[in-house]
């Protein structure tokens, strides 16, 4: 009986991995499609980074097994991402300050 449960658990995990793989493949096609669109730089950047964030989150959650980790690990990941966003904000503010508030190419 326990072998049957074990096999069902493995099949469930394989279905999850295949679903995540399919989502990553679709998002990759969407990324390429957005690359061929004539979007201004800021919307293209926002769309591209949004898709990349979703893909990165899927990889971290399922293939790096962070979705089943304990709260401490999840808290450290969230803290790291928060610090990363803060650093990007600081660098962006510094960049615009050095350029006098001008945005090149926009």
Answer yes or no: do 53 and 96 share one domain: no
pLDDT higher than 60, residue 1: no
Q: Do 9 and 33 have their domain in common?
A: yes
Q: Distance between CA 79 and CA 26 in Å, rounded? A: 29
Calculate the alpha carbon distances from 32 to 24, 29, 47 in Å. Answer: 12, 5, 11
Asked if residue 57 and residue 5 are part of one domain, the reply reads: yes
Residue-wise pLDDT tens digits, 8-47: 888 999 999 999 999 999 999 999 999 999 988 888 888 9
Q: Are residues 59 and 76 in the same domain?
A: no
Same domain, 61 and 81: no
pLDDT tens digits, residue range 24-35?
999 999 999 999
Residues 39 and 88 in one domain: no
Regarding whether 82 and 43 lie in a shared domain, the answer is: no
Q: Which residue range is the domain that position 12 belongs to?
A: 1-65
């Amino acid at each position: 009986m326990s072998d049957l449960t074990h096999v069902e658990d493995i099949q469930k995990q394989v279905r999850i991995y295949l679903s995540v793989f399919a989502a990553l493949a679709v998002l990759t096609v969407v990324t390429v499609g957005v690359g061929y669109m004539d979007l201004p730089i800021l919307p293209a950047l926002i769309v591209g980074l949004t898709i990349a964030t979703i893909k990165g989150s899927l990889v971290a959650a399922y293939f790096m097994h962070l979705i089943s980790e304990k709260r401490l690990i999840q808290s450290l990941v969230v803290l790291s991402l928060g610090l990363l966003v803060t650093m990007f904000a600081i660098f962006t503010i510094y960049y615009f300050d050095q350029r006098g508030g001008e945005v090149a190419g926009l």
